Chain A
């Protein structure tokens, strides 16, 4: 049975000021009400998640004098998955004098998002980007530098200007440690109370406002309630709905999904980004996927055997029996076509049965020509660390045999709907970083995730949350019945999971769900595939609730119980993702509907019918769609072309 849905009232972002775009953030900052410094310490703000967004927000709110409670499921706030970001962070500094500007970064981001992001938000992001670099350098983030002592930059993700600041291949790590250290400083100062190994399992909504959360202490198993004047979710993306992704194993959707069920609308859930150059799956036991820098495509040639089922080793396949398919289909861009196109092309050749490696899910990325042309030393200089990483994982030497690569889920552009103030549709519930939907539209550009997380946490939220808290006198007392109900819901779910005592593990269900999502709601989606998924997901969910086996008890450390709870929420999210993908019959950015492509196989947008944000409201009768129309006053809508 397909999930039924209805269309509700349109939704509007009422917080973005009008007027010239370059003045909007200044205007909003001036309009925002301030909280008296003496009152800040009486106001409690909960921040869930300690990645770039959550870590920087908790630290900054602490510096401002609020009473902050910070939560993470890991053993230390320094572990959040922002730490794994490799490439860099964009900022419109124009230190190179190569024609960059706030306006150009704004323009590139709106266009890169395939015209599905808000202009006001993106402009602010570009404006604030310059402050992020200043802040990070002052904190001691060791960015790459030139011999003159100034910061080095590189061009990234097809940008024509060099605006990406980086710290070798570990930019995310260094920026996160900067935020983490600022957070630890506030913990020492007593403004932030840190709760590690705590997982948020419910939002407490009382009097129509978010007033706290219910968490489980992962060590003792105790269910705790924490009340506050505002709640900030910085809990990251939901790429792990596919089971295999480049996310950390613990990344999950539970926090934002619970908020969704408590009234926060979920925007554009179907927008996911799939990265073309990851190390392929090696077997059924595979637990996660590892990204390899996209820069490899600058010198590597992508190919598969011409013949279906050709299982000879690559060295035994003569040149004229190889299909360098990207060079064949896209003669102008060849191996350098954008992420989504490279990913889909790989999927297509594997679907034809020409994939290589275990399960036939891989394509070759061959450096033989580059080594012959440039010499092994030059190739090693450029890509040595990547080759080493590849060899460590696969045991194969890419200097001697071609690498095998395959696309993998990497980032989710969708997330909870927020207004210009980053406030969700539940008053007092703010959502920042990858957890919200705000700035990337249907496709995120490289080196923009770090920028957005830190912009939200250091600069935007601390201003806008103050405006909300300035009205705290009218919030009233939290109704204890609401608190008790939230706690009871958490307790009941845990008991239910433990009581099934079936014959399959939560991981085996998660794996099956992930495979289904990958096949039917992955790189290419069709009306038929999505309907199939919408039929299968409820069946699988039902089997889960009747046949999952969760060992042990609610008390004490129980990692299997943690995982089972997360998988349960992934089922519900998966359903909404498929529904969103089904309703959006156009292709845009990371959302490719096979029915909507031009004669070259490129994503074909339908601006007349779909230039809106799809904000889904949860209801027991089925999702309700609220459309936020997108207006482009500054950037003219155009179709991408890579021929």
Chain B
């Protein structure tokens, strides 16, 4: 099939950026979205043009490195799917496809579709861990964990840190990302000693990075490739209010 691509091109954070139109021919429906861009880039290189920069690595939906806003939707319209797992058979022959980077002030554009998500790492640095130096752990069976708690913790822990939640949120909030980690660790007995300080520090860091507040629109969970549930944010708020009230 043939497609018209409108791709955001921006040469560094100080460049204003613009949409550039490319025609691509003979796209196979079995190609992944990123493979379609690979083919375009191979052509651009040989034509002496600058290939489109985009982040990607595992290409199996787990590393969280890829992410583009496709036709206005973070990771495209296919639900629970990362950009790398999106395939061209979901597009119509002759269609026009717009491709943009995550847009949020705390995610400055590095180049084209590549953004800087280091704010996420700093939120984790603020408290997204359990303090246990190597070698100091008790036997793994010393503390049983109810299966339901372990399963719920796992559901929250599947977050891949891709940033789609931020890109989709009208407020540019990182609440779903932050809440996923607070929920994961806060549900486990091992996470209790630092539960209050963790929620406080992570929420404050999230605010300091310039992410917006949550107004429960739910766009985040709709685009989340791992389907992190919205009630994680309620848990985060509950933990945060408890510490703030102290």
A residues within 8 Å of B by Cβ? 56, 59-60, 63, 74-81, 83-84, 93, 95, 131, 133-140, 142-151, 167-168, 170, 173-174, 177, 180-182, 184-185, 187-188, 194, 196, 219, 246, 248-250, 282-283, 285-288, 290-291, 358, 392-395, 458-459, 462, 503, 505, 507-508, 549-552, 556-557, 559-560
Contact = CB atoms under 8 A, between A and B. Distances in A.
Nearest to B81: A392
Contacts of B50: 551-552
A59 to B, nearest CB: 7
B235 to A, nearest CB: 15
B61 to A, nearest CB: 9
Given A505-B42, A559-B53, A393 B87 contact: yes
B59 A138 contact: no
A142 to B, nearest CB: 4
9 contacts: A79-B58, A145-B144, A170-B62, A177-B157, A180-B124, A184-B124, A187-B125, A188-B126, A393-B32
Interface string B113-135: 01011101100111011111111
A287 B35 contact: yes
Interface residues of B, number: 79
Given A79-B65, A393-B85, A557-B110, A250 B144 contact: no
B117 A249 contact: no
A221 to B, nearest CB: 11
Nearest to B56: A249
Contacts of A150: 141, 144
B8 interface: no
A100 B87 CA distance: 44
A393 B130 CA distance: 37
B45 A560 contact: yes
Contact of A149 (B145, B154, B158, B190): B145
B63 interface: yes
Contacts of B133: 60, 63
A138 B137 CA distance: 6
Contact of A459 (B58, B124, B134, B157): B134
Contacts of B28: 282-283, 285
Contacts of B106: none
A145 B116 contact: no
Given A142-B188, A395-B89, A149 B130 contact: no
A308 B64 CA distance: 42
B30 A78 contact: no
Contact of B121 (A60, A95, A184): A184
Given A76-B121, A459-B134, A151 B87 contact: no
A50 to B, nearest CB: 11
Given A131-B135, A170-B158, A142 B34 contact: no
A560 B34 CA distance: 15
Contacts of A133: 140
B210 interface: no
A281 to B, nearest CB: 10
Contacts of A552: 50
Interface string B135-163: 11111110111110011011001101100
A144 to B, nearest CB: 7
A556 B137 contact: no
A56 B87 contact: no
A76 B129 contact: no
Among all A-B residue pairs, the 9 with the closest Cβ atoms: A149-B144, A138-B137, A181-B129, A142-B154, A188-B125, A134-B137, A282-B30, A137-B140, A63-B133
A76 B118 contact: yes
A84 B141 contact: no
A394 B32 CA distance: 10
B185 interface: yes
B134 to A, nearest CB: 4
Contacts of B170: none
A77 B59 CA distance: 17
A76 B117 contact: yes
A619 to B, nearest CB: 34
A285 B135 contact: no
B75 interface: no
B198 to A, nearest CB: 11
A151 B188 CA distance: 14
B19 interface: no
A101 to B, nearest CB: 16
A198 to B, nearest CB: 13
B9 interface: no
Interface string B58-81: 111011110000000000000001
Contacts of B116: 75
- Tell which of A76, A136, A138, A286 has the most Cβ of chain B within 10 Å: A138
A358 B31 CA distance: 13
A507 B42 contact: yes
Given A76-B161, A285-B31, A288-B59, A140 B153 contact: yes
A142 B112 CA distance: 37
